[in-house]
Amino acid sequence: MNLNNILSGQYLGGNADGYAGKKSSSNIPLPIQLISFEIENYLNKAVIKWIVASEINNERFIIEKSFDAVAWEKVSEIKGAGNSNILTEYSLIDYNPNDSDPDITLIFYRLKQKDFNGNFQCFEPKSFYLTHPNCDNVEISYNTLSQRVTVSVTSNHKTNASIYFTNILGEMLITKEIVLNEGGNTFSFNVTYIYSGIYIIKIIMDSSKQQFSKKIGLSSNIHSIFFKCHI
């Protein structure tokens, strides 16, 4: 997808760019009929597209977003066609879907239509997910000499998190509340009293509840486990 292909036409401001382009002729009767409303993720930008079959007395379309599907804010708006019986495709790009809050990964968008008389209608919202992870790399190491497990996390922003250490039955053995700063972070805990075996280490981000987990084996050797965090 090339963003330049949809950055033309009428734009009325807001945190987005938009256009309105005619698709094809149609004899579909009036009034306004919404054919589709879709949101695509392009490099964590929300590309919002909708198609209408006909319009009557239509002044403008307004795109709104919400983080809880209750409180809504305007993203931007596009002039409507007024009166039309031509299939028309509209599009907007929200370049900052989560308002620069890295803990927000779920956003709701809805379409609002307003006519020249001041009347308006809202259509059913759609959900949109950001795909960037909270952390880039994690290293877990176990040293039999010191009897300590060390967790090293590289995070792309500051956030609170919790570390949970359980056995394979899910029984909680260790919990640790941590603060992940942007960049490298290292935490360790004593496992002297824990028998050899397979255990699970889980990290949960407090605000977003995103999580990842990894199995680790405690034995008479030194172990080091590297993995990517995709949460």
* Co-location of 121 and 152 in the same domain: no
Q: How many CB atoms lie within 10 A of CB 203?
A: 25
Structural domains of the chain, count: 2
How far from each other are the two terminal CA atoms of the chain, in whole angstroms?
A: 25
Quickly tell me which residue has 């997910």 as its tokens. 129
* Co-location of 104 and 10 in the same domain: yes
* Co-location of 119 and 159 in the same domain: no
Highest mean pLDDT among 5-19, 161-175, 193-207: 161-175
Q: What pLDDT digit, counting tens, does each position of 118-164 carry?
A: 898 999 999 998 765 555 567 888 887 888 888 888 877 788 888 99
* Co-location of 154 and 190 in the same domain: yes
* Mean pLDDT computed over 181-207: 84
Domain that holds residue 186: 135-228
* Co-location of 223 and 172 in the same domain: yes
* Co-location of 29 and 53 in the same domain: yes
Domain boundary, last residue among 86, 110, 129: 129
- Say yes or no to pLDDT of 226 above 70: no
Q: What pLDDT digit, counting tens, does each position of 106-129 carry?
A: 899 999 999 998 898 999 999 998
